[in-house]
Amino acid sequence: MWLVAGLGNPGDEYSDTRHNIGFAVIDALADRYSISLKQKTSSYKFGRGFIEDKKAVLIKPLTFMNRSGIAVRDALFKNDEIENLIIIHDDLDLEPGVVRIKEKGSSGGHNGIQSIIDFLNSKDFIRIKIGIGRSQRMYPEKYVLRPFNKKEKPLIKEAVEAAADAVQEILARGVSSAQNKFH
């Protein structure tokens, strides 16, 4: 079974912000594969279903970005059949709309990823990174909580679909195939 977690912050005030692009991908996957995300624990919302004939659990942490590791750890412990983990998150160092897949590694300065590494005591999980760009005039902590501008919105819409396609490709044919297709 696969666990696919999209990172973001809970609450309506964050719903259309750059930091919540992981949530947008989970919503796209849920729509595409008719997976209801109505189930809830104290640390995440989730739904179970099939993606490319593989069992999958989709989650959206309720713990806020910097404590994402709590939700991911809890989801892994509550679903003991999980063998594979994919984390979908924003990336300041990629141009808006760029999608990259990484098999393992450091957090790259992303606090949500660092929290997951810390709580799992491992860097060995798949990441799908979606570029949100970086502001030269604003601190990153404020920039990630801002919505996309009009010019970026079409790029982000395409990136969300591409990231959902990347999850599908990983489950169907593996990480290498997805990297070849999306890089």
Residues annotated as part of the active site: 19
- Contacts with 11 (C-beta within 8 Å, 6 or more apart), sequence order: none
**List of residues 6+ apart from 143 with CB closer than 8 A:** 18, 92, 134, 135
Q: Which two tokens stand for residue 33?
A: 């594969």
Say which residues have a Cβ less than 8 Å from residue 40's Cβ, sequence separation at least 6.
46, 62
For residue 69, report the phi and psi dihedrals to the nearest 5 degrees: -60, -30
**Strand 2-6 to strand 126-131: parallel, antiparallel, or no bridges (unpaired)?**
unpaired
Tokens of 87: 């984390």
Separation between Cα atoms, residue 84 and residue 158, nearest integer Å: 25
Biggest alpha carbon distance in the chain? 46
Is the Cβ–Cβ distance between 101 and 127 less than 8 Å?
yes
